[in-house]
Amino acid sequence: MPPSSIAIIGGGIAGLSSAFYLSRRFPQAAITLFEKSSREGGWINSRRVDVKDGHGNRAQMLLEAGPRTLRSNSGAVLELINLLDLRSSLITTPKTSPAAKHQFLQIPGRPGLTRLPSSLFSLLSLPYASSALVPSILLEAVRPSNKPKGQDDESLGAFLTRRFGAKFERLFGSALVHGIYAADSRMLSTKAAFPMLLEAEKRGNGSLVWGMLRGREKVGLFAGYDVGEVRTLVDNASIFSFFDGMESIPKALKSYLNTAQNVTIKTGVDVNGLRPTTNSEDIEVILGNGETLNASHVVSAIPLPELSKLTSSAPADVLPHLKANPLSSVTVINVVFPPSTRPIHPLGFGYLVPRPAGGYAVPSSGFLGTVFDSCALAAQDTGASGFTKLTVMLGGPHLLTQAHTRMENVLAQLQHHLAPINHLQKGARLPWPVYYEATEHKACIPLLTVGHVGRMNEMKAALKGGPWKGRLEVVGAGVGGVSVGDCVEAGRNVGKDW
């Protein structure tokens, strides 16, 4: 029997995407989405601020507190952009632009930035030839396959150490994981977070370098997705966003859902219990205000530890592994500098900061990385040109104190990182920002620890059988991947077996 009534819990991108696709797949079903806060979008949060300097220059800067960019490899996101008609507001960063080609590392304890190679060819040039990079990569290419037999999963840290050595893992692997997961690479599951590396290892008969040189089969990447001309628009883009930022997607989803006959969005309403009913196949949804309603099917699009609270009333209904993964916390600091004759930072996407040699227990700047937003997405800003916006990310596995996020300290760190590589004259200081804002995101990114894929398969099996009878589906960042693309893809697939 197709669903007659569907309750969706959570109005982040996973919940909104679920509502969008379910409303089209089951036009006869009454769909209600419950979001406990007053706004939809979850971690996606874009805003425009007015800034001015002491010389009368004014601008309106688009700032992101959460995700800021998308990649063109997600068919689900491209399809959503096409179906929601967001094409005209797309802003792309061409693959040939400095923001696409130049990335940097800030190695703790050293001033300045180290540029990362943009291609295998540039790897052969100095200064890389003398760095940890080249020997590790050359050795990897000739190292025999060393994947432990029968091992189902390992941390990204263990994987990269096994193939490239410990120094490479700390400098490059840990920095990469800081940039995407705000986490410790030694805890993150390779299978869950970087399955493409395992595929490359297989393609290269044990060598990641050979596997990557052989390349991935790209044919049919978007087969089955209604991407229209969006594919052409983002084809040559390394990353993209929208004129009004990432929140353009949840806002467009909300507008679509508000006009759909079969969908109701209830903000400011939290769900605090879920129970399979005993006398029917329905699921009882208990709201924070004490009301209850029965739904024939339910989608949970909230963090897994939250769902565990909702299902904890009857031991038989408890789902396994909901509390297995910790969540990382991140402080995002948006900074806008006034126009200046000297550039604030080198041209590029930004820089990442690897794990300190002494680990996370040693005192550190707390920096995970900094994004040079003006370089990649300047077209989002209007008014006077010349203002520079960047975003500093702190926290994750680092222990943060309030002192870490004070602007004086952040500026001192930026000075240490940016001054030597920049054209700043000796002794010159970075200007005081015309705008800055720190946002603390507690428990915002699930850390998919080793064994995650196996645990999620067990959870899905428990949902199919037992008291839930396949009528509860669980999606969101904590299940199948944390990127916006992963969350939209999950929403697109929800209810396919109903």
Which residues bind to ligand FAD, rule: CB under 6 A?
9-15, 34-37, 42-44, 66-70, 270-271, 301-303, 306, 330, 332, 441, 444-445, 476-477, 482-485, 487
In the complex, least distance from residue 267 CB atom to ligand FAD, rounded to whole angstroms: 9
Q: Which is nearer to ligand FAD, 136 or 241 (CB)?
A: 241
Specify the residue, 10 or 204, whose C-beta has the smaller distance to ligand FAD. 10
Whose structure tokens read 């929601």?
Answer: 84
Nearest 5°: the CA angle 340, 346, 348 is 125
Taking the complex as a whole, the smallest distance from the CB of residue 68 to ligand FAD amounts, in Å, to: 5
Q: Which is nearer to ligand FAD, 356 or 481 (CB)?
A: 481
Which is closer to ligand FAD, CB of 348 or CB of 476?
476
Residue nearer to ligand FAD on the CB measure, 139 or 180: 180
How far separated are the first and last CA of the chain, in Å rounded? 7
| Minimum CB distance to ligand FAD smaller for 10 or for 467 | 10
Q: What is the CA 3 to chain-centroid distance, rounded?
A: 31
- Number of helices followed by number of strands (H, E) in the chain: 19, 20
The CB-of-44 to ligand FAD minimum distance in angstroms stands at 5
Give the span between the Cα atoms of 29 and 20, in whole angstroms. 13
Task: State how far the alpha carbon of 185 is from the alpha carbons of 156, 177, 402, in Å.
Answer: 6, 6, 25
Nearer to ligand FAD, 61 or 158 (CB): 61
For tokens 């049919």, name the residue: 220
Nearer to ligand FAD, 298 or 421 (CB): 298
Q: What is the DSSP string of 344-396?
A: SS-SSSEEE-PPPTT-TTS----EEEEE-HHHHHGGG-EESS--EEEEEEEET
What percent of the chain is helix, strand and coil (3-state, nearest 5)?
A: 35, 25, 40
Query: At 91, phi and psi to the nearest 5?
Result: -125, 120
Residue keyed to tokens 């209830």: 266
What is the smallest separation between the CB atom of 384 and ligand FAD, expressed in angstroms? 27
Query: Please, what is the minimum distance in Å from the beta carbon of residue 455 to ligand FAD?
Result: 17
At its nearest, how many Å lie between ligand FAD and the CB of residue 426?
A: 35
| d(C-alpha 82, C-alpha 93), whole Å | 19
Q: Which of 406, 424, 422, 411 is nearest to 370 (CA)?
A: 411
The one-letter amino acid code at 385 reads S
User: Least CB distance from residue 77 to ligand FAD, whole Å?
Assistant: 8
Cα pseudo-dihedral 222, 226, 228, 232, rounded to 10: -20
Smallest gap from residue 33 Cβ to ligand FAD (A) = 9
**CB of 225: closest distance to ligand FAD in angstroms?**
17
Type of residue found at 251: K
Cβ proximity to ligand FAD: between 78 and 208 the closer is 78
